[in-house]
Amino acid sequence: MVCYKFLALLFCLVVLAGCSGAKKKTALPPPVAGRGPAVAPAGPAGTPAELSPIKRNILFLARREWDYFGRQTVVFDGDEESIPHVGKWEDDEEPYVYRVNWYWRAVGKPHLNGKDCSEPWSAAFISWIMKEAGVPEEQFMPADAHWHYLTRIMAEAGAPGSAFVPHSIDSYSPQLGDLICATRDSNDPPPDGFTLGSYLLEHTKLHCDIVVERDGQVLAVIGGNVRNSVSKTFITLNKDGLVQPNRRRPWFLVLENRL
């Protein structure tokens, strides 16, 4: 007999959405006092020693959260998507419901959690990672939607000492600690010759992931609210090491991390 979760997974491949159905509101735990920046252990597996402490923290936190959620894996092969390993979902059990609440607290929405299925939490996840890693808010402003922090970063991109620099996917090869971003509208990929600023203004429903591994032409990124979990996604770069958009995930931006 095919298990219920597998059937639900097949449904998610057709419709990108959070958990569905009427959910009973979960009582939230009291707020957790600020713990200060995370400190990655010296030389975690797969992390080059030459990375800055903040980048090491970002990678450490992203990998830790992926591990906590059961290491769900997504693979893009051209326009085809598969999920060879299914992890824990945002509303599976109370520990995961509460974990999503951690992320929401970073963007000033402590009333939300993993059972608030209509609320995309990928930007809250990125914001929590940056905050916990010790990135100053003046360099990366926590936000509940990706376009909020991206708009500010793009407006300040030409300033001396910018911590994050936006690039179109055909002009820069992503490195560890960078972000790659896509529109959530799979029916409207970026047109040839588009400009980042105009495209961003027209597409406010976005998704971004953190680059955590690179092995030749294979790039691994971790993001929240990816198929109802914190997932690691594998994509194939082209021969020049550039991100290739696809219909399911129309990548259009690489956010270079210079910290």
Q: What is the mean pLDDT of residues 247-254?
A: 89
Task: Scan for tokens 């945002």, then name that residue.
Answer: 90
Could you tell me if residue 41 is inside a domain? Answer: no
Higher pLDDT pick, 48 / 115: 115
Could you tell me if residue 45 is inside a domain? Answer: no
pLDDT band at 196 (very low <50, low <70, confident <90, very high): low
Residues 129-140 have pLDDT tens digits of 999 999 999 999
SS3 of 229, please? strand
Could you tell me if residue 193 is inside a domain? Answer: yes
Q: Please, are residues 188 and 203 in contact by the beta-carbon 8 Å criterion?
A: yes
Q: Please, are residues 224 and 121 in contact by the beta-carbon 8 Å criterion?
A: yes
* Average confidence score pLDDT of the chain: 82
Q: Please, are residues 63 and 222 in contact by the beta-carbon 8 Å criterion?
A: yes
Strands (E), the chain: 72-77, 80-85, 164-168, 179-183, 206-215, 218-226, 229-236, 251-257
Could you tell me if residue 82 is inside a domain? Answer: yes
> Residue-wise over 103-131: b if at least 16 C-beta within 10 A, else e?
bbbbbebeebbbbbbebbbbbbbbbbbbb
Could you tell me if residue 12 is inside a domain? Answer: no
In this structure, the strands spanning 72-77 and 229-236 are: parallel
Could you tell me if residue 204 is inside a domain? Answer: yes
The structural domain count of the chain equals 1
- 171 token code pair: 């002009």
Residues 57-67 have pLDDT tens digits of 999 999 999 99
Could you tell me if residue 59 is inside a domain? Answer: yes
Domain of residue 84, residue span: 53-257
What is the model's pTM? Answer: 0.82
Could you tell me if residue 22 is inside a domain? Answer: no
Residues 85-104 have pLDDT tens digits of 999 999 888 999 999 999 99
Q: What is the mean pLDDT of residues 66-75?
A: 97
d(CA 239, CA 222): 22
